[in-house]
Amino acid sequence: MPTKRLSVVVTRRLPAPVEARLSELFDTTLTDSDDVMSRDALAQAMQGADILVTSLTDTVDAPLLAGAGDRLKLIANYGAGVDHIDVATARQRGILVSNTPGVLTEDTADMTMALMLAAMRRMPEGMARMQAGDWAGWAPEALLGSRLRGKVLGILGMGRIGQAVARRARAFGMEVHYHNRRRLHDGLETPLEATYHDSLDRMLTLADVVSVNCPHTPSTFHLLGARRLKLLRPSAVVVNTSRGEVIDENALTRMLRAGELAGAGLDVYERGQGVNPRLRELPSVVLMPHMASATREARLEMGDRVLVNMQTFADGHRPPDLVVPSML
Ligand code: DGY
């Protein structure tokens, strides 16, 4: 099928150079608003398109997939996480799903460190004091935080992003521990000087900081639930730049309020924008609006990955970033 004839619907506004290239290569319908596409509009798009370009704000579930037109053959997601797409059902219906791994690794790891530093060094409290204009000057015991050097970092999920966090943490002098479905091979583990724990519980009892870097799947939902969070020391800090659903947000909030945990740095939330309001009241908690990968560079490179996946598919080959249900 000639590439030009492939009909593409893009559900969200993307950076201008990405949209321009999509329009050059395909018969592309763009959206001129930055709103999330409604379910009805999504259903309609899935009726007529050959390729749907989604992002994490589109829920592509089994009922929507059941109504998809026969033409729909690829969902090229603009983003790495695919927990908003029912990949198994898509596969059963002969619809491929691709994502954009790799290009947001370093930026997400940077944000993980920023959240860790901000929570441990009480930066929001310092900023609030400066912004309120009520800084009374230096004092030996004002706003004392915790040093990163020498602390035990427990990384939950040692994929690309977890490894990028580990590299940074080593540079900060932290001791790196990790839990992952599979142990890394020596060639990766040794340079990171990382200690593997097949027991997540064990790792949590040792950690000063926990960083969530695993994807959200049915098996990671509430992996850090109330029981496991209680294994952490009261001085521990929890950082999450992956997906909110991995942590029981209400349990985390209760423990932070009770002083059973020292702080948290969160970029993602269990109920999307519906952040537990009590989290916002806590000075020890740093909240970011899902912006760990929000760099101009990453957004353009994500667009490049989407285009490569689409073009490869259009040329009759397997998209390089194909997501298969067994990966999840
Ligand atoms: C992703 O790509 O899944 C990220 O969460 C977007 O920021």
Q: Which atom of ligand 1 is nearest to the CA of 82?
A: 3
Q: Specify whether 38 is located in the same domain as 123.
A: no
The residue whose CA is least distant from atom 7 of ligand 1 is 293
pLDDT tens digits, one per residue of 19-47: 999 999 999 999 988 999 999 999 999 99
Mean pLDDT value of segment 240-252 = 98
> In degrees, to the nearest 5, what angle opens at C-alpha 176 toward C-alphas 171 and 181?
130
Residue 303 confidence (pLDDT) above 60: yes
Q: Specify whether 254 is located in the same domain as 113.
A: yes
Residue 3 confidence (pLDDT) above 70: no
Q: Across all residues in the chain, what is the average pLDDT? A: 96
Q: Specify whether 118 is located in the same domain as 258.
A: yes
- Please report where in the chains the tokens 């969160």 appear, as a residue: 266
Q: Specify whether 262 is located in the same domain as 116.
A: yes
pLDDT tens digits, one per residue of 89-143: 999 999 999 999 999 999 999 999 999 999 999 999 999 999 999 999 999 999 9
User: pTM value?
Assistant: 0.96
Q: Specify whether 203 is located in the same domain as 96.
A: no
CA nearest neighbour of 162 among 50, 240, 83: 240
Residue 1 inside a domain? The answer is: no
Mean pLDDT value of segment 300-323 = 98
Q: Specify whether 50 is located in the same domain as 159.
A: no
Q: Which atom of ligand 1 is nearest to the CA of 80?
A: 2
Q: Specify whether 219 is located in the same domain as 124.
A: yes
Q: Specify whether 90 is located in the same domain as 186.
A: no
Range of the domain at 120: 105-287
Q: Is 56 in the pocket of ligand 1 (CB under 6 A)?
A: yes
Give residue 4's pLDDT: 53
Q: Specify whether 262 is located in the same domain as 127.
A: yes
Residue 185 confidence (pLDDT) above 80: yes
Q: Specify whether 57 is located in the same domain as 170.
A: no
Residue 203 near residue 220, CB atoms below 8 Å = no
Residue 76 near residue 98, CB atoms below 8 Å = yes
Mean pLDDT value of segment 64-69 = 97
- Residue 27's SS3 state is strand
Residue to substitute in 87, 107, 293, 297 for testing ligand 1 pocket (most ligand atoms within 8 angstroms of CB): 293
Overall domain count for the chain = 2
Give residue 172's pLDDT: 98
pLDDT tens digits, one per residue of 83-102: 999 999 999 999 999 999 99
Residue 252 inside a domain? The answer is: yes
Q: What is the largest CA-CA distance in the chain?
A: 71
